[in-house]
Each structure stands twice: as structure tokens, then as C-alpha cells.
Amino acid sequence: MWCVVQFYILQNLGISTQLAAIDSIVTNLLLAFIGLALYQVMRFYDLSKDHFFNLRIWVILITVFCSLSVNWFHQEWNQNDASYLPFLKLELPIRFCYNFLMVVFISLLNWMVYYFKNERDLMNRKSDAEKLSREAELSGLRQQLQPHFLFNSLNSISALAGSKPEEARKMIQQLSDFLRGTLKKDDQQLVTLHDELQHLELYLEIEKVRFGHRLKTQIENDENSLMMLLPSLLLQPIVENAIKFGLYDTTDDITIQIETKMAGNDLIIVVKNPFDPETSSPNKGTGFGLNSVQRRLYLLFSRNDLLQTQTEKNVFITTVKIPQVS
């Protein structure tokens, strides 16, 4: 484009078609070569430091080199053309200004390309670092939940081994199945509610061996909710918390109620457990289990309102909302 513009201007100034074409082609080919060289050189230019003074010096030096080189070429090529040589001397300031503007434009264009490329790379590295940090924290939260449950289960197996060996063997098998499923899910961030409830059933079967007839569960599912997604191993600490505050301070039978439903684009999970207000304080003692659930939900969805707890008479209610990403 600039070749055509320059060719047209030179022709209007009275320069012959051949000389105008050679002048415009040589000038812009040299500028194109300089642009390519600047593109390669600026790959190694440190944009994080203030090198604009050095850059300006280089722009001026390149402009002087380009202008003098073009003039020298035309003088040597057209040294026998008496009408063209005076024009070369007169146009040198104009050629210098033109070359200067073009080199500045090319330099700024290259600088912007690499600046935005570096910014994009920086944002990608920052995002990757935050993702790795978040995944490490999520993994740590999941791992911290396992020892507590595992120790309780092993203690129960130990107690059953002498008096009820069949129950102990059954519990060992159930614990093995549960841990195998847990290990498989470590790399899965989101699973369907159907899969999560199946894994939860393994946990509840172990707990029912521990507590016998005292523990009952009631699960009500909205069929539309079964294929919705939620973070893996999210329900176990919630139900464990319900068992802890429902059974530990009483000798009566209790029923843990789990209800799932859809509300708009959110999966709603409600866990209810009775408690004795005289011996148990669930509002004060939600402990690591529910805190870890709330932390995981925040890390995954950047919201602090997805887990709510409340009491109605002698029933403790935990409500979890899982946004469904469309």
C-alpha cells in the first residue's frame, strides 16, 4: 500500500515512472526488512523494564541508516541522471520524516504485539498457578476427612472382631469398597448425584454396622436431580456430621433424612438429623466437616452462600446448593 502511495506522490512531483517505481520499491522493501528485523529482535526485549529511552535511540539510528542507505543507492543507480540527483538532496528531510514515522509505527506495532502476548502469558501462568493451588487445597481437604472416619471404622472393626466376627468381616469388606471408590474419585472434580449417592450408601452401610439398629436413613430423590453434577465426596462429611450430632449424645434410634431436588438451575440437597438440645450443640460444633464443605464450595464456585444450617425445634438442617454450569 505504501509503495503505491509513494509511487503516486513521486509521479505527481515529476519523477519518471521507472524512477518512481524503483524509489518506492527500494524504500519500502528496506522498511519491510527493518520491520522483520525489529520483530525478531523484540522477542528478546524485556518489556517489564523501562527501556523506552534505548528504544527511541534505536529508532532514530535506524531512520538515519534507512534514509542515507536509500539515498546512496539512488545516487549510485542514477548517477548519470542530472534531473534526479538534485531531487534526492531536496527530498532527504522528507524521506527522513517518512522513514522515521514508519519505523516508529513498526516499532510500536511490534511492541504492542509482544506486550499483549506477554500479558496473556502472564495471565495464563497466574491462572495455572491459582488452579494448581486450588486443586492442592481441595485435595488436602478431602484427605483430611479420611483419617477420622478410617480410625473410627478400624476401632469398630476391632470391637466387633471378638464378639461378632461375621460383622467385622462384613465391615472390612464394606470399608475396602468405600476406600476403593474414594481413591477412584480423587481425580474427579464433579460427579453425578446418582454416583455420589451410591458411594454414600457404602459409607452408610459401614455406619449401620457400627451403630446397629439405632441408625436409620431415609433418602428422597427428585428424579430430575439424579443426573445433576456436584463435587465428589461432598455428602459424606455432611452426613457424618448429622450422625455425630444425632447419635453420639443419645441412646435412642434416629433417622437421617436426605432430600434432593431442583430449584431453577440449582441442585438442592437437604440433610436433616434430630438432636438433643440439652446435650448437643450442632450450631457451635459443626467442626471441620461442614467447614471443609463450605471451603470446597467456595473454591469451586467462588460463593459463600452455598451451605446453610438452621434448627427447627429438635431438628438440625443442613442445606447445600450446587449451581449447575450450563
- Show the domains of the chain with their CATH numbers: 2-125 (no CATH), 164-323 (3.30.565.10)
**Per-range mean pLDDT, top range of 44-48, 292-296, 316-320:** 316-320
Percent of the chain with pLDDT over 90: 11
Alpha carbon dihedral 217, 222, 227, 230, in 10-degree steps, equals -60
Q: What is the pLDDT of residue 121?
A: 81
| Residues whose CB falls within 8 Å of the CB of residue 149, separated by 6 or more in sequence, listed in order | 203, 236, 240
How far is CA 136 from each of CA 131, 141, 179, 296, rounded to the nearest angstrom?
8, 9, 20, 11
Determine the 3-state secondary structure of 232 from DSSP. Answer: coil
According to DSSP, the residues that pair with 311 across neighbouring strands are 316
CA distance 134 to 130: 6
Task: Report the mean per-residue pLDDT for the chain.
Answer: 77
Q: Which residues of 8-33 are buried (b: 16+ CB within 10 A; e: fewer)?
A: eebeeeebeeebbbbbbebbbebbee
Q: Which of 326, 214, 325, 196 is nearest to 271 (CA)?
A: 196
List, for residues 124-146, the tens digit of each pLDDT value: 777 776 776 666 666 665 665 56
Residue 285 pLDDT > 60: no
List, for residues 162-188, the tens digit of each pLDDT value: 778 888 888 888 888 877 777 665 545
According to DSSP, the residues that pair with 216 across neighbouring strands are 255
